[in-house]
């Protein structure tokens, strides 16, 4: 049969190209012979350059012209297998089955068009009148690289750690291309590359891009400073963990809110809620030994914070309004702070030199500064709550709101340098904290419920993906970029509450 689309290769009938041994044709010289086009390979979606040409041989040399030959796609036995469609040479329409008649020499032809799945595709050749059946096989190769997926796509590591990237490329139909060579380069951030191995070199967000055949993908690496946090668990108690997600342990299992570190980094202070709205200040070492400091008849306290030298714990006592108070860590010498402008005062946070407190008056909603020795008060004139004074500078972080959550901001204690931090539109819960070196702030973000680590200088935000169940984060003194994270020790499964002093 003459082809309007292809020039078929003229071959002697004795030559069989790509024939299949699975023929069920009768013996005695009768058979289907594949003369050309069998065994070809090409990429998905291809129309093969050589038509499938067969010859029908009849027994005893009978007339083989005009025999009807059916070419049929063999459906794969399992989903996702390769398919070869068929089409008459005179028609561009592909189909699962077409029929052609042998010419005067006994030959018939069909066009082969590959589907979109790679693998081995088969076409059945049948001469129904003679009960001849045979099969032609083809190899469908993946197309050009269209996509690449790098894993891990988003990971979190401390400085000095490594991660090995793996890439899987695929064609436009999703067929894998396992032999592709992927090249990597650093797009930005504090990481270095050796082949597909990434080494973190500096805190911040980093990105590595991989490419092959025009397809690209990137991996995001959050490089966190070394450090250790305590936080309150949504299921109760205080937990402790390193910023890279390692070393989780329970510090205490008693109920807790508003947790903060002692300057020594060996104990914490928090509010331990009890029945009937009893809210005393409590402390605990890292073994879960809990002491209750406020043993007045109906203590209702909030927002405890150690002085920078560790000699005092400042907090708000809730009476007819918030009163700024302090107590020694052993429970002694509890008293109220003198203020020339008393208000409904909460969230005391001491300055680095211990002479002043940043706090919020809920009557005005404003951030205020109290000079502890004199009681003098400076109203900063900005709406705020949950202030946290940097441990080594004049910067005060706060939430710019008078509600339960707010956007993050910082301001200098002289009123200058006010600016927003965090991602646009982000809102944070009460209780934010600084890293010991004053470079980072941690807080729990409202929308994600995860803890963000925010660089104060660059405003880079790195969510800690593993923290969807903790709040009130506080950064352990002595752990950070200039010191290694502490070795965490197992806490007992049950904590004790042991009063040590009586409030006067």
Report the CATH number that the domain containing residue 67 is assigned in CATH: 2.60.40.10
Three-state DSSP string of 19-73: CCCCCCCCCCCCEEEEEECCCCEEECCCECCCCEEEEEECHHHCCCCCCEEEEEE
pLDDT of residue 29: 52
Task: Classify 366 as helix, strand or coil.
Answer: strand
pLDDT of residue 320: 79
Say whether both 298 and 441 belong to one domain.
Answer: yes
Say whether both 283 and 418 belong to one domain.
Answer: yes
Say whether both 190 and 328 belong to one domain.
Answer: no
The structure tokens listed for 27 are 């013996």
Q: 260 with 270: CB under 8 angstroms?
A: yes
Say whether both 82 and 130 belong to one domain.
Answer: yes
Say whether both 193 and 252 belong to one domain.
Answer: no
Say whether both 336 and 404 belong to one domain.
Answer: yes
Say whether both 452 and 349 belong to one domain.
Answer: yes
Task: Give a yes or no: residue 264 inside a domain.
Answer: yes
| Spans of the chain below 70 pLDDT | 1-30, 480-504
Residue that terminates a domain, selected from 112, 141, 170:
141
Task: Give a yes or no: residue 122 inside a domain.
Answer: yes
Question: How far is residue 142's CA from residue 213's CA, in Å, rounded to a whole number?
Answer: 13
CATH code for the domain in which residue 154 is found: 2.60.40.1080
Residue 263, Cβ density class (10 Å: 0-12 exposed, 13-18 middle, ≥19 buried): middle
Say whether both 214 and 109 belong to one domain.
Answer: no
The boundaries of the domain holding residue 110 are: 31-141
Question: How far is residue 369's CA from residue 380's CA, in Å, rounded to a whole number?
Answer: 7
158-180 residue pLDDT tens: 899 999 999 999 999 999 999 99
- For the full predicted model, state whether its pTM sits above 0.75: no
Select from 140, 152, 265 the least CA-distant residue to 217.
152
pLDDT of residue 492: 35
In the chain, the largest separation of any two C-alpha atoms, in whole Å, equals: 123
300-319 residue pLDDT tens: 999 999 999 999 999 999 98
Say whether both 220 and 233 belong to one domain.
Answer: no
Task: Give a yes or no: residue 269 inside a domain.
Answer: yes
Task: Give a yes or no: residue 503 inside a domain.
Answer: no
Say whether both 300 and 348 belong to one domain.
Answer: yes
Strand pairing report for 107-114 and 52-57: antiparallel
Select from 110, 103, 4, 99 the least CA-distant residue to 48.
110
Task: Give a yes or no: residue 260 inside a domain.
Answer: yes
Task: Give a yes or no: residue 12 inside a domain.
Answer: no
Number of domains in the chain: 3
Residue that terminates a domain, selected from 85, 114, 141:
141
Say whether both 179 and 296 belong to one domain.
Answer: no
Task: Give a yes or no: residue 120 inside a domain.
Answer: yes
Beta strands in 276-424 (DSSP E): 281-285, 289-292, 301-306, 313-318, 322-327, 335-336, 345-350, 356-361, 366-371, 377-383, 385-389, 395-400, 405-412, 419-421
Residue that terminates a domain, selected from 92, 124, 141:
141
Select from 44, 50, 56 the least CA-distant residue to 82.
44
Task: Give a yes or no: residue 478 inside a domain.
Answer: yes
Task: Classify 467 as helix, strand or coil.
Answer: coil
Say whether both 107 and 153 belong to one domain.
Answer: no
Tokens 């894993």 belong to residue: 151
CATH code for the domain in which residue 270 is found: 2.120.10.30
Provide the 10 A C-beta neighbour count for residue 314. Answer: 25
């Amino acid at each position: 049969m003459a082809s309007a689309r292809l020039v078929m290769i003229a071959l002697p009938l004795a030559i069989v190209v790509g024939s299949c041994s699975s023929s069920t044709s009768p013996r005695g010289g009768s058979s289907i012979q594949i003369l050309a086009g069998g065994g070809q390979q090409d990429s998905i979606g291809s129309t093969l350059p050589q038509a499938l040409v067969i010859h029908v041989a009849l027994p005893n040399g009978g007339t083989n012209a005009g025999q009807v030959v059916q070419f049929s796609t063999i459906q794969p036995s399992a989903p996702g297998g390769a398919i070869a469609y068929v089409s008459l040479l005179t028609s561009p329409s592909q189909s699962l089955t077409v029929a052609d008649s042998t010419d005067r020499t006994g030959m018939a032809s069909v066009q082969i068009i590959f589907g979109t799945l790679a693998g081995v595709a088969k076409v059945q050749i049948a001469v129904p009148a003679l009960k001849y059946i045979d099969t032609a096989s083809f190899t469908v190769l993946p197309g050009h690289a269209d996509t690449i997926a790098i894993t891990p796509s988003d990971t979190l590591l401390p400085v000095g750690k490594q991660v090995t990237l793996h890439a899987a490329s695929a064609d436009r139909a999703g067929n894998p291309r396992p032999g592709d060579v992927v090249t990597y380069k650093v797009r930005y951030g504090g990481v270095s590359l050796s082949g597909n191995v990434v080494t973190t070199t500096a805190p911040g967000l980093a990105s590595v891009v991989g490419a092959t055949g025009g397809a690209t993908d990137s991996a995001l690496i959050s490089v966190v400073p070394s450090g250790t946090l305590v936080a309150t668990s949504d299921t109760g108690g205080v937990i402790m963990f390193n910023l890279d997600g390692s070393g989780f342990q329970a510090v205490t299992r008693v109920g807790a809110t508003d947790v903060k570190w002692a300057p020594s980094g060996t104990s914490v202070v928090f509010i331990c809620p009890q029945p009937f709205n009893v809210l005393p200040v409590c402390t605990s070492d890292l073994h879960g030994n809990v002491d209750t400091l406020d043993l007045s008849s109906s203590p209702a306290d909030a927002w405890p914070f150690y002085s920078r030298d560790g000699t005092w714990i400042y907090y708000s006592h809730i009476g007819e309004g918030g009163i700024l108070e302090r107590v020694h860590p052993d429970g002694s010498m509890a008293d109220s702070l003198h203020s020339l402008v008393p208000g409904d005062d909460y969230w005391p946070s001491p300055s680095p030199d211990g002479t002043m407190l940043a706090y919020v008056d809920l009557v005005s909603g404003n951030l205020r500064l109290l000079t502890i020795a004199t009681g003098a008060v400076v109203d900063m004139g900005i709406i705020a709550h949950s202030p946290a004074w940097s441990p080594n500078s004049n910067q005060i972080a706060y939430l710019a709101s008078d509600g339960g959550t707010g956007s993050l901001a910082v301001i200098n204690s002289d009123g200058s340098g006010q600016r927003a931090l965090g991602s646009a539109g982000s809102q944070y819960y009460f209780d934010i904290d600084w890293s010991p070196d004053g470079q980072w702030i941690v807080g729990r973000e409202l929308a994600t419920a995860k803890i963000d680590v925010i660089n104060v200088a660059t405003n880079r935000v790195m969510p800690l993906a593993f923290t969807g169940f903790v709040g009130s984060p506080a950064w352990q003194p002595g752990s950070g970029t200039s010191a290694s994270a502490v070795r965490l020790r197992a806490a007992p499964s049950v904590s004790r509450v042991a009063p040590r002093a009586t409030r006067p």
